[in-house]
């Protein structure tokens, strides 16, 4: 199950401190875009936007990326 958006794991996910291993290109493009965005702008405002976007992504695609959601939930 996708953790609530207020869960601290999302900060770790978007800043790359919690690596997500995936064979799915769609997931890896999302993770890569987060990494690039954080490298360009690590402000709290941008991080908040990244968390919202990443939470929405895994909520929308939970059914096809269960392994990745499981990694986030653990």
Partner 1 sequence: MATKISSKLHSVSEVQAAIAAGESLFLAGSREALSQLPRGNWVGGTISYFMSEAGGVMSDDRIFTTSIPDFVLQVETAEYGTEDLAKLYLDAPEHGFTFLALPASSAVLKTFAEEAPNCDGFLFRPVVGWVSGVHADRIGIDSPAVFNGKTGAVLQDKAVALHIELPSNKIAELDIVNIFEPGDGDVIRFQKAGFHVDDCLIGGKPVNFADYIQQMALPTEFPLVGDYNGSSINVSFQKVDSEKHTVDLFAPVFPGVDYRFAKPVADYGQAFGQVIAREEKDSDFACNCILNYLYGKLEGKKTGHVTGPITFGEIAHQLLNQTMVRLYLRDIG
Least CB distance from residue 18 to partner 1, whole Å? Answer: 13
Per CB under 8 A, contacts with partner 1 among 48-67 are: 56-57, 60-61, 63-64
Decide if residue 13 touches partner 1 (CB under 8 A): no
Rounded Cα distance between 17 and 64, Å, is 24
Least CB distance from residue 3 to partner 1, whole Å? Answer: 19
Rounded Cα distance between 25 and 47, Å, is 23
Q: Which range touches partner 1 (CB under 8 A), out of 7-15, 20-28, 44-52?
A: 20-28
3-state DSSP percent of the chain in helix, strand and coil, to 5: 65, 0, 35
């Amino acid at each position: 199950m996708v953790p609530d958006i207020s869960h601290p794991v999302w900060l770790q996910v978007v800043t790359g401190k919690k690596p997500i291993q995936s064979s799915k290109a769609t997931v890896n493009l999302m993770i890569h875009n987060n990494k690039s965005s954080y490298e360009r702008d690590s402000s709290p405002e941008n991080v908040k936007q990244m968390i919202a976007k990443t939470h929405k992504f895994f909520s929308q695609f939970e059914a096809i990326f269960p392994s990745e959601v499981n990694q986030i939930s653990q």
